[in-house]
């Protein structure tokens, strides 16, 4: 992709997470799962905890809220299930936003109020990764 692109991910992470139970409760097929102790992609480390996640694909975008709103459409009516999972398995909830900046075309990186309220309601953390690509960085 030659233009700035964004990916957003919602993940549930914990030591004793039951992937099948989370999938059933959420009613969604995860985009990705990792099992505690499983080798990472680089085959040099292992995952420290089990993870269930859904994410958008990397999409050309100049506003992270577009991808976050796509995730919200899938999970905003599942607050009770998320809180039940959080209590049952003692997990952490994370929204991760990855922005690949191309040709110095940055994306707007702010959170709209409905997204902030939702994240707060489920006691989620938010992370950002940004990568800059261009003639000077490649």
**So what's the pLDDT on residue 135?**
60
How do residues 58-111 score in pLDDT, each as one tens digit?
999 999 999 999 999 999 999 999 999 999 999 999 999 999 999 999 999 999
The token pair that represents 49 in the structure block: 């905890």
How close are the terminal C-alpha atoms of the chain, in Å? 14
Contact between residue 62 and residue 2 where contact means Cβ atoms under 8 Å apart: no
How do residues 11-45 score in pLDDT, each as one tens digit?
999 999 999 999 999 999 999 999 999 998 888 89
Work out the pLDDT band at 1, boundaries 50, 70, 90. low
pTM summary value: 0.92
What is the pLDDT averaged over residues 113-132?
A: 97
In angstroms and rounded to an integer, the radius of gyration of the C-alpha atoms of the chain is: 16
């Amino acid at each position: 992709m030659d233009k700035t692109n964004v990916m957003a991910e919602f993940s549930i992470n914990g030591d004793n997470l039951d992937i099948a139970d989370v999938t059933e409760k959420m009613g969604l097929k995860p985009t990705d799962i990792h099992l505690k102790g499983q080798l990472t992609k680089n085959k040099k480390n292992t995952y420290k905890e089990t993870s269930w996640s859904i994410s958008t694909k990397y999409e050309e975008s100049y506003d992270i809220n577009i991808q976050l709103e796509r995730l919200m459409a899938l999970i905003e009516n599942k607050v009770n299930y998320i809180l039940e999972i959080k209590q049952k398995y003692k997990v952490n909830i994370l929204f991760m936003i990855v922005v690949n900046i191309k040709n110095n075309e940055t994306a707007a990186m702010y959170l709209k109020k409905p997204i902030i309220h939702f994240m707060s309601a489920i006691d989620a953390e938010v992370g950002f990764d940004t990568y800059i690509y261009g003639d000077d960085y490649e």
